[in-house]
Amino acid sequence: MLYGRSAEISALDEVIARARDGRGGAVVVRGEAGAGKTALLDAAAARGGGMRVLRTTGAESESDLAFAALHQVLRPVAGSLGALPGPQRAAVGAALGLAAGGDGDRFLLCAGVLSLLAEAAAPDGLVCVVDDFQWVDRASADALLFAARRLGTERVAMLLAVRGDAAVKGVPQTVDVGGLPEPAAAELLESRHGALPARVKRELVSLTGANPLALGEIAARLTPPQLAGREPLPDPLPGGARLFGDRVTGLPAPVRLVALVAAVEADLGLVLGAADRLLAEPPVHTAANPSQSGSPGPGPETGAGAKTRPDAETWADAETRPGPKTGAGTGTRPGAESGAGRAALAGLEETGLAEVSGTSVRFRHPLVRSAIHEAATGPEVRRVHAVLAELTTGDRRAWHLAGAALGQDEQVAAALVATAERARDRGGYGAAATALARAAELTPEPRARAVRLKDAAVAAWLGGRPGQAESLLAEARERAGGDAALAMEVAQLRGRFELNSGNAAEAVRILAAGDSLDMLAGAVEAASYVGDTAAVVELGRRAAAHPEGFLRDAVAGIGLTLDGAADGPGLLRRALARAGELEDAAGYLWATAAASYLGESDLAAELAGRAGRVARVSGMAGQLPVVLEFVANAERIAGRLAHSRAIAEEGLELAREAGYANTEAAHLANLAALAALRGEEESCGRLAREALAIAIPHRVGLRAGVAAYALAMLDLCLGRYAAAHDRFTAIAAAGPGAGHPTVVWRSAPDRIEAAVGAGDEAGARAALEAYERWSAHAATPESRALLARCRGLVTSSQDAFGEALRLHTNPFEAARTALLLGERLRRAQRLGEARTQLRTAWETFEQAGARPWARRAQDELRAAGESGQAPPAAVLDVLTPQELRIAGLVADGLSSKQIAAQLFLSPRTVEYHLYKIYPKLGISTRTDLARLVVLLKAPVAGDGML
């Protein structure tokens, strides 16, 4: 029975009830040891009303075993794997050890876990209970938290119990479990010990903080006179902060031995096997035998950290004496069949400290396990690990060998490296990082240790832990010594880490120190993010010395073009001619950059779109959020505002998952620009400030420039020409780290429009001259259309506007030109011609959701004498970003399973969204949806680099 927890149970009941109705979610149950979290989870799960329950408990002994907890929680529903999309099915099957292979994409694996939970929730819902989450292995924790953050449309409730202040990333709802209310604590005491004097109850409640476990354990150790108040309570109370310490140290040696084995390894068969072997070893006095054997750990500890119990006989000293050893999992020692381990385990159960549950030994409370470890000596723990290593294989054996090691050991380190490789292949990057870091500690050879530290850093980075990655890489750098090749490899990684999540200017400095083409390309990329044109030019010259090839031509061409060299554009053209040979998203992004520096915004956007399509299906191990920066920007500049917002929100979520701060800034800046175009003043300001708060200190001038551009566009959209002109002028003057030449070039048409609106004709002409220089090598129709419009603005030439309208391939930019021309025609009293242009503009802006421009076109149209029926509003605006992404993929002909695989969703979630989409759009089939989306989706045009 639970006492005093009605509020906590009510909160958990609400989460479960919402999940039953298809509005799933997760909650963290947080409290100190003994607060009653497990009892709360049990009670909540039992009140699920027929909902399926899956559960696991984090075990400290398994916290280094990749996917140990996930295997436990998903094993009962593994039969539903067939319902998952193929890539997700393969990833989850590999993680659970049910299939070979795996491509190492952790997002794909995490999406598969979400899909499997969604399948398991049919038809009555699912409660997923994870106790002691602080000890769940990292690979499982990452996958479960990914799912927990995406349960909004699933019939799944996830309850995560965690001790103290352990971090649970991204789950905002928390139920805090503190001490019991005093009346409930008194009731608990009386239920176990009968009526007690009020004074005794108050003292016990006060001294224990009303912690249920402490109350029960301490009261059970008091004498009847103490409970009755006839004698004072002892000071300190028995047990104190270490509630189970005296009970553990008082155990008979065989029982304490089996308790330690169970604290190291919970599997029943292994506990019994190891205990039998250890109990068969003749006892030796701890201080009596200093000899060493060839077992994994040398002799007894000495010095300040040593633990001894004089005159105590201990089986741990078997590690200090010679004797026969057995192979890995084969052979037995004399007496191993005696059943001594079973008898000792029965004795442990009789104490009430542990119990056998199925095929595992479980302690009454995690504090019992802590007390057992505190009571054990170092040699005892190592000897237990050594015996367990003989009985296990694979990852378990590797970690037991590591636990048995004293000092460095290459064989043990190599076993951990193999464990890391298996975890990495299955997408368990966090577990791989832990294994590689421990392997490095055990590695005697300095260069091999540095390599393993470097590999651990990469795994931590791909696992979304940039802080750990940077610490590991710093240590690798220190240990690289005079190995120039390894030092350069470490430097390249440092530069990449800085570029993605740190100071982009520092990334330039680090990467520019290398001479390889990859290093120079990374340095150019970093300098481009900073907006350091001089650095890009210098690095481009250095790249030009390398042999001809796509990457060399792109990198060198960008630098030489910025330097005004005649052969720069030719190199970019040659790189673009090879775009059809590209296979990876990174290559397409370089092609996007090449087209952008040629001034061909429409081609740049097309190539960015290709990069996004490739990235979604290529298993990029977390690089998708970076690619989506450029895809979202291209969609925005093409005027597909709803699509851009959907992609940017997806990219923002994935960037936060991956820990890519600078990519997060990119998506925030793009969302700010979208809010400006939609006239959402408050959202634009907030998003721009969030982007700038990352971009300015990190010296990411490209993203700072886009955020500043968003604020300038907001003023321009709302007709605040003077304010917009001031902002665009500041953007043009901003130096590296705060602005960017590409932002200046791409925003030149907007800057010219603002200058004309503000009456600054000289400023408009100067901006036009600069824009003409930028566009000198552009040959696509859209680039020439924008230039013609700018000339029309500066010269008031209606012919120039007409030329722009003939050339435009971007409907959104064509609408802006039509609006500007229509305004001038109306003022010239050519009302019929004006109405034609203004109505076209009004309809396009309404469809795009660009409300400020739509209002402006509507006002002009009325002034021209037309007050006809309003055009339909943006049809797709009624869809959520998630629904819009799904609708777009339906239009591409993908099935629900294929869509789920690309968007890291479950197929059931896709079907749920389709069920919502149809009535919103007034349609009833996938065919209708595809036809509507294709009709509304204009040809791609825009510049993916802004």
How far apart, in Å, are the Cα atoms of 528 and each of 288, 495, 507, 562, 648? Answer: 69, 14, 11, 11, 21
Is 842 a member of any domain?
A: no
CATH number at residue 116: 3.40.50.300
Q: Note the pLDDT of residue 241.
A: 53
Is 31 a member of any domain?
A: yes
Could you tell me which of 456, 440, 437, 449 has the C-alpha nearest to residue 480? 449
Q: How confident is the model at residue 939 (pLDDT cuts 50, 70, 90)?
A: very low
Q: Note the pLDDT of residue 935.
A: 63
Q: Which residues make Cβ contacts (< 8 Å) with residue 922, sequence separation at least 6?
A: none
Instruction: Judge if 387 and 283 occupy the same domain.
Output: yes
CATH number at residue 907: 1.10.10.10
Is 916 a member of any domain?
A: yes
Stretch 59-79: mean pLDDT, rounded? 90
Using the predicted structure, report yes or no on whether residue 806 has a pLDDT greater than 80.
yes
Using the predicted structure, report yes or no on whether residue 378 has a pLDDT greater than 80.
yes
Q: Note the pLDDT of residue 214.
A: 86
Instruction: Judge if 159 and 204 occupy the same domain.
Output: no
Is 586 a member of any domain?
A: no
Specify the number of domains making up the chain: 4
Is 66 a member of any domain?
A: yes
Q: Which residues make Cβ contacts (< 8 Å) with residue 288, sequence separation at least 6?
A: none
Question: Which structure tokens are listed for 526?
Answer: 């970093």
Q: How confident is the model at residue 869 (pLDDT cuts 50, 70, 90)?
A: low
pLDDT tens by residue, 385-439: 999 999 999 999 999 999 999 999 999 999 999 999 999 888 889 899 999 999 9
Q: How confident is the model at residue 309 (pLDDT cuts 50, 70, 90)?
A: very low
Phi/psi for 267 (5° steps) reads: -65, 125
Instruction: Judge if 168 and 28 occupy the same domain.
Output: yes
Q: How confident is the model at residue 945 (pLDDT cuts 50, 70, 90)?
A: very low
pLDDT tens by residue, 109-137: 888 999 999 999 988 999 999 999 999 99
Query: Can you tell me whether residue 252 is helix, strand or coil?
Result: coil
Could you tell me which of 533, 547, 624 has the C-alpha nearest to residue 586? 624
Is 503 a member of any domain?
A: no
Question: Which structure tokens are listed for 616?
Answer: 């979604």
pTM above 0.75, yes or no: yes
Stretch 52-68: mean pLDDT, rounded? 90
Q: Which residues make Cβ contacts (< 8 Å) with residue 472, sequence separation at least 6?
A: 433, 437, 453, 454, 456, 457, 460
Query: Can you tell me whether residue 169 is helix, strand or coil?
Result: coil
Question: Which structure tokens are listed for 724?
Answer: 């917009």
CA 187 to the chain's CA centroid: 45
Of 159, 177, 195, which one is at a domain's C-terminal end?
177
Q: Tell me whether strands 313-314 and 284-285 are parallel, antiparallel or unpaired.
A: antiparallel
Question: Which structure tokens are listed for 460?
Answer: 């931590």
Instruction: Judge if 360 and 266 occupy the same domain.
Output: yes
Instruction: Judge if 154 and 97 occupy the same domain.
Output: yes
Is 88 a member of any domain?
A: yes
Burial of 352 (0-12, 13-18, 19+ CB in 10 A): exposed
HSE of 587 in the Cβ direction (CA atoms, 13 Å)? Answer: 15
How far apart, in Å, are the Cα atoms of 938 and each of 635, 765, 811, 927, 930? Answer: 10, 32, 7, 18, 14
Is 307 a member of any domain?
A: yes
Q: Which residues make Cβ contacts (< 8 Å) with residue 881, sequence separation at least 6?
A: 642, 645, 646, 649, 650
Using the predicted structure, report yes or no on whether residue 599 has a pLDDT greater than 60.
yes
Q: How confident is the model at residue 164 (pLDDT cuts 50, 70, 90)?
A: confident
Using the predicted structure, report yes or no on whether residue 742 has a pLDDT greater than 60.
yes
Instruction: Judge if 302 and 353 occupy the same domain.
Output: yes
Structural domain range at position 62: 6-177
Q: Note the pLDDT of residue 700.
A: 95
Q: Position 544: which residue type?
A: A
Percent of the chain at pLDDT > 90 equals 57
Of 329, 364, 393, which one is at a domain's C-terminal end?
393
For the chain, give the mean pLDDT.
87
Q: Note the pLDDT of residue 521.
A: 96
The residue length of the chain stands at 946
Instruction: Judge if 239 and 251 occupy the same domain.
Output: no
Instruction: Judge if 222 and 251 occupy the same domain.
Output: no
Using the predicted structure, report yes or no on whether residue 943 has a pLDDT greater than 80.
no
Assess contact for 730 and 710: CB atoms under 8 A: no
Of 129, 148, 177, which one is at a domain's C-terminal end?
177
Could you tell me which of 390, 357, 356, 385 has the C-alpha nearest to residue 373? 385
Question: Which structure tokens are listed for 147?
Answer: 């799912």
Could you tell me which of 36, 263, 24, 61 has the C-alpha nearest to residue 154? 24
Instruction: Judge if 263 and 381 occupy the same domain.
Output: yes
Instruction: Judge if 77 and 101 occupy the same domain.
Output: yes
Q: Which residue has the higher pLDDT, 903 or 852?
A: 852
Instruction: Judge if 151 and 199 occupy the same domain.
Output: no
Using the predicted structure, report yes or no on whether residue 293 has a pLDDT greater than 70.
no
Burial of 791 (0-12, 13-18, 19+ CB in 10 A): buried
Instruction: Judge if 93 and 218 occupy the same domain.
Output: no
Q: How many CB atoms lie within 10 A of CB 86?
A: 10
- What are the helix (H) ranges across 659-738? 661-677, 681-695, 701-717, 721-733
